[in-house]
Amino acid sequence: MALKRSLVPQSVYRRQLAARLKELRDATGLTLTEVADQLEVNQGSLSRIENGERGTTPVLVRALLDLYGVKDEDRRADVLDLVRADKEQQKPWWRKYSTVLTPTRYDGYLALEAGATHLASYQPMLVPGLLQTEDYARAVISQMRKDLSPPQVESLVRVRMERQNSRLGGEAPARLWAILDEAVLRRTVGSVEVMRDQMRKLVEASERSNVTVQLLPFSLGAHPGLYGPFVILTFPPPTPDLVWLENPKNSVYLESPEDVENYTDIFDQLRSTALDPSETRTLIARISKELEE
């Protein structure tokens, strides 16, 4: 499996812009060297723009469109809109938390998640961040990130809560399909009371029209998800799907069609074998009641 270890793309719009500019250049038969010579710009910079590694300006894009013979005003406007949208997404709400986000590339994930329309999340050990209560998030972060001070922990808790409001609420909420192993609920995080509140939130979230929650019961035995957690992010066309794998110090994303298809197949297998949403709510209620005994 090929893991791409470079920094994640800064925005969905930048990825779309990169693909559009490369497509227009290819249609003319021009090489990057020829474009750079004619416009008197750095070839390396043009290459990074086409790879989605850096943004650009409306001035340069207009020059590229002129060189590529794009005269249709609507087509030009579409490309320039991507430039402006990318610049806007470089001012995200999470920027003020950059000191605690950057070390694990969490800020890169947030940039991707902000543009996703669908999120397919599998978690064998923890409740997904988008469904965590504040107390559960605080307990998880403080135990998993021993390098952080209490104020830094609180910063990450606030990020997690703002993510939930941003992606699961508002005018255009993302569609979240979360599959959890039963171990997620059997592991006491924080305290019994924290777990009860967390299970209550899971049930409430699962009743929302844009959220589906399924459990993989212990009785299922071994299954394809035992390899570990992952998130599949789906974006508006033509941007392709991505898979995100979070690690303590070196989180990575997979973007090759083969890798994405592999994880999509695994998620489909888990979805077909997990309890349905109604059965899931019943099991959550039962486990929550057991905590009271």
- The pLDDT of residue 2 is 39
Q: Can you name the residues that pair with 120 across neighbouring β-strands?
A: 177, 232
Q: Strand order of the sheet with strand 242-245?
A: 211-216, 175-181, 118-123, 230-234, 242-245, 252-254
Which residues in the chain land under pLDDT 70?
1-11, 88-105, 107, 249-250, 293
Round to whole Å and give the CA distance between 83 and 52.
12
Cα distances from 190 to residues 143, 193, 229, 257, in angstroms, run 9, 8, 21, 39
Nearest Cα residue to 6 out of 54, 43, 41, 42: 54
CA gap 198, 201 in Å, rounded: 5
Q: Residue 232 and residue 171: Cα distance in Å, rounded?
A: 22
pTM summary value: 0.74
pLDDT per position as a tens digit, 179-192: 999 999 999 999 99
Domains of the chain: 12-90 (1.10.260.40), 95-291 (3.30.870)
Q: What is the pLDDT of residues 159-174, one digit of tens each?
A: 899 999 989 988 889 9
| pLDDT attached to residue 164 | 93
